[in-house]
Chain A
Amino acid sequence: MSVAEAVSTQAGAVENLTGEAYRDVVRRWLHASLPVGFRSDSAAFAPPPLQQSVAWEASMYRAGLTGITWPQAYGGHGRSLREHLIANQEIGALAMPESVNSIGKELAGPIILAVGTEEQKRRFLPAILDMRNIWCQGFSEPEAGSDLAGLRTRATRNGDGWRINGQKIWTSGAYRAQRCLVLARTGPLEDRHRGLAMFAVPLDAGGVRVRTIRSIDGRESFCEVFFDDVEVAQADAIGAPDEGWAAAIRVLEIERATNRMYRAWRFENELRHLISASKTDPVLTEMVGDRHYAVRLGEVAVEIEVLKAHVETAVEALASGDKIGARGSLAKLYWSESHQRFAALAIELLSQASLPQNPAIRVARRRFEAIYLQARAETIYAGTTEIQLGIIADRILQLSRGK
């Protein structure tokens, strides 16, 4: 099947293909369709404006590359997790921008599929996939970062609906989102994990205020979100009121185990870019030919192989019907720390390039300096390193805390 056919028949293009034939169509579609200006390994790269990102991601959906495993009844493509992995391997192999709606596709969507009502699934899920609705995640608060059980945002009954008051922080992409997946307390603070509920709050509702926060990479991507007497309909409550914490745990397990499944292959793309750029510079060519950097780059390559093994094992487990549970913490801990080590090595190497810098080195420096700064957040978001270690100790090793 040609790429043109794949594109023209859109979602139906690849529905009968599996395995390597499916991979081949995915690869050809991506290579033919991804604008060169979206590629961070190109001199033409410029961070795409929101509208262009939305259009690109909508085209990926129409080509069958998002919502891969979601049921067709809700706009998905009804494919297997193994095919989801294949598509992600190909997505990772290109220096493509991160999704502006990963929260919708990888957190809100899966949790709505798990505990949402039929009406919610039909209302929310297709709009996530075709990019009409961008979502953000309202979990963390000023007084409840890692310790979500301590969150204070309150949801109180308001006739048939709810009224929400409180503040969320570190809410990535709230300024561009239409919906926020809000975790709020319906009982007293002392109840900790009990009495937490989840809501799909429309961000254009009265009483919602969003303020951007500038982060270490100079971007204003995450936000504070304030809720002052925000009225939310019962139809926007996700799951039963006391299911909030269980739903949050499920969301976080999904997030740790499967989100951005393409990471290992993206890291490989980054490693290949680092080496290929280095080979355009006489000083760096000599350095990467030296045993010292061969060993260090080899260590990065080994870590990428191990990360692939973590991902593929998780996919096989899930595809075989296993629950991933706490094991998602192993992969999250592994990728976040190994990517930080790699990013630090990349900027160390590139900083030694000869002068004047050639265009390939300038492109690589721009990309890896951004990656280095963004990677500092990777051991913080989706549960800090310390939280992951605690989960592994508590739930996998089941270490005694007894006195």
Chain B
Amino acid sequence: MTMAGEGLQPDEFAATAARAVTACTGLDVRAQAQNLANDGLLGIVANEEVGGLALPLGFAVPVIAAAHSGLLEFPLLETVLVGRLLQSSLPRLAAAVVSGEKLVTIAWQGEAVAEQLGGAMVLSGTVARAPCAAKVDYVLVRMMAGAAALIPTDAEGVVAEEAAGLDLTVPEHVMRLQKVEIPAGSILPVNTWDVLSSDANVLRAAAILGSAEACLALAQEHASTRRQFGHALSYNQAIRHALARQKLGLESIRHAITRSLSEGGGLVQRDAAFLAAATYGSSISEGALQIHGGMGFTWDVPVHRHLRRIRTLQAQGDASGLIGAFGRRYISEVAPFAEAEA
């Protein structure tokens, strides 16, 4: 993919992202935000008025993949999407997000209920699957009809609770909203969530691609160096074939993402990319763990961290709900059979 007139290639951002991710190791979330912002990675798809690079979504794919390959402990996917989402309605806040001054996340599960009280909008309810919610300044939540609201995490009535979850380094939180008053300008219009989810599905697929790529590389390295029965593990056909299947899954994710961003790519292709990534990413990470044998079950081998992330991303995108909806949509678009005309 080449940007018309720009000569930029998405893959050129992968190396920058990999360096930035390495530089974030050991830093707290705010320091990471500054590092990532300085490299232009938080505003990669946001417009130039808010300090972004105004690049198409495809440029965020290698960035997110590199971030997950390097196990970045920052809600980058959410930040990249919210920065762009706010650029028209809340440009000053968008600029603060893109510059790393303000931190944001998204509660991917649940819906807040809004009511008008006097001149104010009041939100209540429980939302969940909000990565890093305890450490950020704002959380985006879903409302009825696909609208969304941006809520300050320090607003009265907002309670962030740690939730059980597989990803320990980017922990998810449950947010209880008890009559949280927010300005009307913080409500984003109907269908905001659908567009956000569709973009998020592409970036989740990219995130899973990054983790799955790391898992396969680790498994391949282990199979080539670990010796049993007088041979490297990779001498055995069972191991070779298992790794070959992982490679097929990996390339399937990669190609599905490319297709979802191509000229003909739409909602179906984006959903398919995420669903393929969820399926193959899980099997690649679990397969990599198996190839590591007992070592894979130790904390020190990082395969489990990727597996945790992939399963978390799968849940944040509600892969099991989405595959049902995907199938129902497909079925509903096919008319009952009628004989072809001669």
Contact = CB atoms under 8 A, between A and B. Distances in A.
Of B224, B268, B279, B339, most buried by chain A (CB within 10 Å of CB) is B339
A246 interface: no
Nearest to B271: A302
Interface in B239-270: 240-241, 243-245, 247-248, 251-252, 255-256, 258-259, 262, 268-269
A291 B327 CA distance: 8
B247 A396 contact: yes
Given A305-B269, A312-B259, A312-B262, A294 B331 contact: yes
What bracket does the count of chain B residues touching chain A fall in? 35 or more
A306 B256 contact: yes
A296 B245 CA distance: 21
Contacts, number: 146
Given A276-B334, A280-B336, A302-B276, A334 B252 contact: yes
Given A294-B331, A299-B327, A277 B337 contact: yes
Given A280-B337, A393-B240, A289 B234 contact: no
A402 B331 CA distance: 50
B271 to A, nearest CB: 8
Nearest to A45: B340
Name the residue in B231, B245, B248, B262 with the highest tally of chain A Cβ atoms < 10 Å from its Cβ.
B248
Q: For chain A, give the interface size range.
A: 35 or more
A105 to B, nearest CB: 26
Given A302-B272, A401-B234, A334 B342 contact: no
A130 interface: no
A188 interface: no
B251 A330 contact: yes
Interface string A384-403: 00101110111011011111
Contacts of A403: 230-232, 235
A310 B212 CA distance: 18
B240 A305 contact: no
Interface string A264-283: 00000001110111011000
A393 B331 contact: no
B8 interface: no
Nearest to A311: B255
A91 to B, nearest CB: 15
Contact of B331 (A43, A288, A299, A394): A288
Contacts of B338: 276
Secondary structure at the A interface, as helix, strand, loop or mixed, is helix
Interface string B268-286: 1100100110010000000
B251 A400 contact: no
A310 B248 CA distance: 10
Interface in A280-323: 280, 288-289, 291, 293-299, 301-302, 305-306, 308-310, 312-313
A46 interface: no
Contacts of A288: 331
Contact of B324 (A294, A360, A386, A399): A294
B220 interface: yes
A272 B338 CA distance: 12
A388 B241 CA distance: 9
Interface of A: 36, 39, 41-44, 271-273, 275-277, 279-280, 288-289, 291, 293-299, 301-302, 305-306, 308-310, 312-313, 327, 330, 333-334, 360, 363-364, 386, 388-390, 392-394, 396-397, 399-403
29 contacts: A36-B340, A276-B336, A294-B324, A296-B327, A297-B331, A298-B275, A298-B325, A298-B328, A299-B327, A301-B327, A301-B330, A305-B259, A305-B269, A306-B252, A309-B252, A310-B251, A327-B251, A333-B248, A334-B248, A334-B252, A360-B339, A386-B241, A393-B243, A393-B244, A394-B240, A399-B223, A401-B234, A401-B235, A402-B232
